Chain A
Amino acid sequence: MADRTSTGARSLRSGAWDLLPGYALDALDDADRLAVERLLETDADARRSLDEYREVVAAFAVETEPPTFVRANVLERVRTTPQHPATGARFAPAAADRVPHADSTWATPGAPESGPSPDGTGDSDVLDLAARRQRRRWGLAVAAVAAAAAIAFPTTIAVQVTAERNQLREQSEIVSEMLADPDASIRRATVDGGGEASMLVADGDMYFRADGLPQPDQGRTYQLWIVKADGSVSSAGVLSWQDGEASSLVRGSDGVGLAVSVEPETGSEQPTTDPVVVLGA
């Protein structure tokens, strides 16, 4: 084992050090994995230690001859598949930020942009609904979200390298778990009146976050609504606004989207104004 007696700086990161075995086992959730990757970027001892753990994990593997068609397929694909250069793949968050486990394998990871990985298709026109929204009354907007859900609107757009994902990442443990879900997706839209809203959806949970929101008028507040598949909406509570930001986690709802409207300070039973933003799951 390498001698690791040095530096007080390391004690700050002992948490991440302790996670190296889990990293080698692919057993970390997103937040922990990022902590380890930050450590690996700067600490050669940590990289060496990770290499050792990986060798240990690899010692579990038992060589087993794959079916012969695999060989034929691989060699065929290799004939027509170009190779990647050695360099250029760094720890850049942008590159490592794909879906969980996007980082490359040796610890100087740059993501191996291997075959089927989604590439830049993520944020999509999730809501051209958003563009249409402005002309809609509630009923129409809500119906659009519900209908989109009903006809299998692209539901699993992979979480992508986007600024909002980085912002979202800073949130609670629940959100970390949601991010770790390979089927998580993010929707975003601009907010009428200013600001941007995004919604992280994973396994029944929806995490809403907006920033750049203007302060509501005196006596008014932003209220969050859960949009159901049948087009009905129910309150998810008023949003507390701080420095233009607001966020809320909606757990285990059977909603297919979220919407926000400006309501009297005490909140409303049902929305009394047009939505300022609608996000479809």
Chain B
Amino acid sequence: MTITLSKPHSAPAAPAASARAFLGQTGAVASPPTRTSSQDVVDALLVKCAHGDPASFTPVYDALGSVAYGAALGVLRDPHHAAEVTQEVMVEVWQTAARFEPARGSARTWVATLARRRAVDRVRSEQAHRDRDQRDADLRTGQARDVVVEDVERKLEGAAVRRCIEGLTSTQREAVVVAYYGGLTYREVAEQLDTALPTVKSRIRDGLNRLRECLGVRHG
């Protein structure tokens, strides 16, 4: 399978600062990962609800429910599943709010991470059920979890990472995209792309490193 994101005039990865400036100008990006004051407000709301009454969670849900749903949808094709995952995740956010450490990342990232994890778990357990029912190990990485190019195009629309992804080599992009949207393990990515496992590992690592630079992500 080949995944190419057609963008004929795409530019290579821009240095972090100019990428930020560019994103700021276009406003085409839903949620740039750079810290903004509104994100700080959301972080503070989440911290505050940790020892608060349930009512204090309402603004947290309103700010972050769409992140959970969006992250879950990235992995799950079925909106119904994504809605269930969102429900579970947002209750988990409430329950574990005291464990959120703003110094380590934004509330948005925290919630997106939780939601992705649950969505991936769901994909894998559904897949395991199918495998068992059909007694067909080949399905494990087959059609069922194939990442469809058009889907990816659509899903990336509005993602902060959209522009940066053009700066990856085509093989890096392919490996990262398949791992992200397929909810696959390295091993499964390797099988699906018919590529050696160590190669897949380094492509994903190098790909994420490039994205990190392009997005200007830097902690500490």
Contact = CB atoms under 8 A, between A and B. Distances in A.
B196 interface: no
B interface SS class: helix
Interface size class of A (residues with CB under 8 A): 35 or more
Given A51-B219, A74-B61, A75-B61, A106 B160 contact: no
A63 B161 contact: no
Interface string A16-45: 001111101111110010000000000000
A83 B94 contact: yes
B65 interface: yes
Interface string B86-125: 1110111011111111001110111011111100110011
A115 to B, nearest CB: 6
Contacts of A81: 91, 94-95
Nearest to A204: B135
Interface in B67-96: 67-71, 73-74, 79, 82-83, 86-88, 90-92, 94-96
A2 to B, nearest CB: 5
B201 interface: yes
Contacts of B95: 81-84, 112, 114-115
A89 interface: yes
B21 to A, nearest CB: 17
B91 A77 contact: yes
Contact of B112 (A58, A86, A89, A107): A58
B9 interface: no
Contacts of A66: 65-66, 68-69, 82-83, 86
A2 B219 contact: yes
Interface in A63-81: 63-67, 69-71, 73-75, 77-79, 81
A70 B186 contact: no
Q: Which 10 A-B pairs have the closest CB atoms?
A: A86-B98, A66-B69, A58-B112, A61-B71, A59-B160, A59-B161, A64-B70, A114-B92, A21-B208, A63-B66
Q: Which secondary structure characterizes the binding site on chain A?
A: loop
B186 A61 contact: no
Nearest to A86: B98
A235 B176 CA distance: 44
Contact of B91 (A53, A60, A67, A78): A78
Contacts of A196: none
Contact of B186 (A28, A89, A181): A28
